[in-house]
Structure 1
Amino acid sequence: MKYQKLFTPGKIGSLELKNRIVMSAMGVSFAKSTGETSDDMIAYYEERAKNGCGLIITEITRIDDVNGVGTNCQLSLTDAKHIPQMERLVMAVHKHGAKLFPQLHHPGRQTHARLMQGRPPVAPSPIPCGKCKEMPHELTTKECEDIRNAFVKGAVLAQMAGCDGVELHAAHGYLLNQFLSPHTNKRTDKYGGCFSNRMRIMAEIITAIKHMCGREFPISVRISADEFIDGGNALEDSVKIARTLESYGVDAINVSSGTYESGITIIEPNSYPQGWKKHLAATIRKNVKIPVIAVNCIKEPGMAEQLLEEGVCDFTALGRAHLADAAWVKKAKAGDDIAIRKCLGCMYCFGELESGRKCKCAINATLSREREFANWNYNGDERTAVVVGGGPAGMEAARVLAQRKFNVVLFEKTSVLGGQLNAASKPPHKEKIGWLVETMAEELRRLNVDIRLNTEATVEIVKPLGPAVVFVAAGAAPIIPQIPGVDRANVITAEEYLQNGADVGKSVAVIGSGLTGCETAEDLAGKGHKVTLVEMLKKVGPGVNETVLYDVMSRFNKGDTAILTSHRLMDITDQGVVLLDMKATATTVLPVDTVVLAMGVRPRCNVAQPFIDTFDDVILIGDNVKGGRIAEAISDGFSRAFSF
Structure 2
Amino acid sequence: MKYEKLFAAGEIGRLTLKNRIVMPAMGTSLAAASGEASDEMIAFYEERAAGGCGLIITEITRVDNETGVGTPNQLNASDLLFVPRLEKLARAVHRHDSKIFLQLQHPGRQNHGRLIGGKQIVAPSAVMSSAIGEMPRELSTEEVEGLVRKFVFGAVIAQTAGIDGVEIHGAHGYLIGQFLSPLTNLRTDKYGGSLEGRMLFLSEIVQGIKLACGAGFPVSVRIDGDEFVPGGIVLEEALLTAKHLEQLGVDCINVSAGTYESSNAIIEPISYPQGWKKHLAAAMKQAVQIPVIACDVIRKPDFAESLLQEGNTDFVALGRAQLADPEWGNKAAEGREAEIRTCISCLYCIQEVMECKVIKCAVNARAGRELEFAEPPRDGGGKVIAVIGGGPAGMEAARILALREFRPVLFEARDVLGGSVELGSRPPLKEKLNWFIANMQHQLEQLNVDVRLSAKPTLEQLKALNPYAVFVAAGARPIVPGIPGVDKAAVCTVVDVLSGAVEIKNKRAVVIGSGMTGLETAEYLADLGNQVTVVEMQKRVGPDAYLPNLIDMVTRLKKSGVELLASTKLVEVQDGAIVLENSATGETSVREADAVVLSIGVAPDRSFAEELKQAFPKVKVIGDAGKPGRIGQAIQSGFETAFVLN
| TM-score greater than 0.5 by the shorter chain | yes
Aligned mates of 1:336, 1:483 — CA distance in 2: 53
SS at match of 2:151: helix
TM-score (norm 1): 0.99
Residue of structure 2 in register with 1:641 after alignment: 642
Aligned pairs for 1:524-563 within 5 A: 524-563=525-564
Residue of structure 2 in register with 1:96 after alignment: 96
1:191·1:197 contact (CA, 8 Å) conserved in 2? yes
1:530·1:559 contact (CA, 8 Å) conserved in 2? no
Paired letter, 1:80: L
Residue of structure 1 in register with 2:410 after alignment: 410
Q: CA deviation at 1:607?
A: 2.5
Aligned mates of 1:261, 1:391 — CA distance in 2: 36
2:25·2:60 contact (CA, 8 Å) conserved in 1? yes
Aligned pairs for 1:507-522 within 5 A: 507-522=508-523
Residue of structure 2 in register with 1:135 after alignment: 135
Paired letter, 2:67: N
1:474·1:623 contact (CA, 8 Å) conserved in 2? yes
1:53 aligns with 2:45: no
Residue of structure 1 in register with 2:610 after alignment: 609
2:376·2:400 contact (CA, 8 Å) conserved in 1? no
Paired letter, 1:488: K
Paired letter, 2:430: K
Residue of structure 2 in register with 1:383 after alignment: 383
Paired letter, 2:79: D
Paired letter, 2:137: H
Paired letter, 2:321: A
1:571·1:577 contact (CA, 8 Å) conserved in 2? yes
Aligned pairs for 1:218-297 within 5 A: 218-297=218-297
Runs of 4 or more consecutive aligned structure 1 residues displaced over 6 Å after TM superposition: none
413-422 vs 55-64, greater mean Cα deviation = 413-422
Paired letter, 2:597: V
Aligned mates of 2:523, 2:488 — CA distance in 1: 24
1:440 aligns with 2:440: yes
SS at match of 1:557: helix
Q: CA deviation at 1:322?
A: 1.2
SS at match of 2:223: strand
TM-score (norm 2): 0.99
Aligned residue pairs total: 644
Aligned pairs for 1:555-594 within 5 A: 555-594=556-595
SS at match of 1:402: helix
Q: CA deviation at 1:433?
A: 0.6
Q: CA deviation at 1:501?
A: 5.9
Q: Which runs of 5+ in 1 are unaligned?
A: none
1:336 aligns with 2:336: yes
Sort the Cα spacing of 1:205 and 1:560 in 2 relative to 1 into closer, same or farther, 3 A.
closer
Q: CA deviation at 1:344?
A: 1.0
Paired letter, 1:593: D
Aligned mates of 2:2, 2:470 — CA distance in 1: 41
SS at match of 2:423: helix
SS at match of 1:208: helix
Q: CA deviation at 1:542?
A: 2.2
1:347 aligns with 2:325: no
Aligned mates of 1:483, 1:124 — CA distance in 2: 57
Aligned mates of 2:44, 2:223 — CA distance in 1: 26
1:526·1:556 contact (CA, 8 Å) conserved in 2? no
Residue of structure 1 in register with 2:185 after alignment: 185
Aligned mates of 1:584, 1:539 — CA distance in 2: 16
Q: CA deviation at 1:634?
A: 0.3
Aligned pairs for 1:490-501 within 5 A: 490-500=490-500
Aligned mates of 1:287, 1:455 — CA distance in 2: 60
Aligned mates of 1:161, 1:596 — CA distance in 2: 59
Aligned mates of 2:635, 2:427 — CA distance in 1: 21
Aligned mates of 1:244, 1:624 — CA distance in 2: 58
Q: CA deviation at 1:178?
A: 0.9
552-561 vs 92-101, greater mean Cα deviation = 552-561
Q: CA deviation at 1:159?
A: 0.2
Aligned mates of 1:559, 1:269 — CA distance in 2: 19
State the superposition RMSD in angstroms: 1.0
SS at match of 1:394: helix
Residue of structure 1 in register with 2:481 after alignment: 481
1:362·1:630 contact (CA, 8 Å) conserved in 2? yes
2:536·2:567 contact (CA, 8 Å) conserved in 1? yes
Post-superposition Cα deviations, 1:585-622, rounded to whole Å, max 9, x if no partner, equal: 12221111100011111112122122111001111001
Paired letter, 1:344: I
Q: CA deviation at 1:396?
A: 0.3
Residue of structure 2 in register with 1:466 after alignment: 466
Aligned mates of 2:434, 2:610 — CA distance in 1: 31
Q: CA deviation at 1:326?
A: 1.1
1:528·1:560 contact (CA, 8 Å) conserved in 2? no
Q: Which runs of 5+ in 2 are unaligned?
A: none
Aligned mates of 2:106, 2:583 — CA distance in 1: 46
1:539·1:565 contact (CA, 8 Å) conserved in 2? yes
SS at match of 1:250: coil
SS at match of 2:393: helix
Residue of structure 2 in register with 1:422 after alignment: 422
Q: CA deviation at 1:263?
A: 1.0
Aligned mates of 2:629, 2:608 — CA distance in 1: 18
1:167·1:222 contact (CA, 8 Å) conserved in 2? yes
Post-superposition Cα deviations, 1:159-215, rounded to whole Å, max 9, x if no partner, equal: 000000000000011111111111111111111111211111122111111111111
Paired letter, 1:258: G
338-347 vs 633-642, greater mean Cα deviation = 338-347
Aligned mates of 2:566, 2:402 — CA distance in 1: 47
Residue of structure 1 in register with 2:325 after alignment: 325
Aligned mates of 1:327, 1:379 — CA distance in 2: 25
1:490·1:593 contact (CA, 8 Å) conserved in 2? yes
163-172 vs 529-538, greater mean Cα deviation = 529-538
2:101·2:163 contact (CA, 8 Å) conserved in 1? yes
SS at match of 1:118: coil
146-155 vs 491-500, greater mean Cα deviation = 491-500
2:338·2:442 contact (CA, 8 Å) conserved in 1? yes
2:386·2:470 contact (CA, 8 Å) conserved in 1? yes
1:422·1:499 contact (CA, 8 Å) conserved in 2? no
Paired letter, 1:489: A
Aligned mates of 2:522, 2:494 — CA distance in 1: 9
Post-superposition Cα deviations, 1:362-400, rounded to whole Å, max 9, x if no partner, equal: 111011111000142211011111111111100000000
Aligned mates of 2:423, 2:543 — CA distance in 1: 20
Paired letter, 2:524: D
Q: CA deviation at 1:513?
A: 0.5
1:85 aligns with 2:97: no
1:22 aligns with 2:22: yes
Paired letter, 1:639: E
1:213 aligns with 2:213: yes
Paired letter, 1:89: L
SS at match of 2:559: coil
1:575·1:589 contact (CA, 8 Å) conserved in 2? no
Q: CA deviation at 1:2?
A: 2.0
Residue of structure 2 in register with 1:35 after alignment: 35
Aligned mates of 1:81, 1:305 — CA distance in 2: 41
1:528·1:559 contact (CA, 8 Å) conserved in 2? no
SS at match of 2:5: coil
1:510·1:531 contact (CA, 8 Å) conserved in 2? yes
1:474·1:607 contact (CA, 8 Å) conserved in 2? no
2:400·2:642 contact (CA, 8 Å) conserved in 1? yes
* Identical aligned residues as a percent: 52
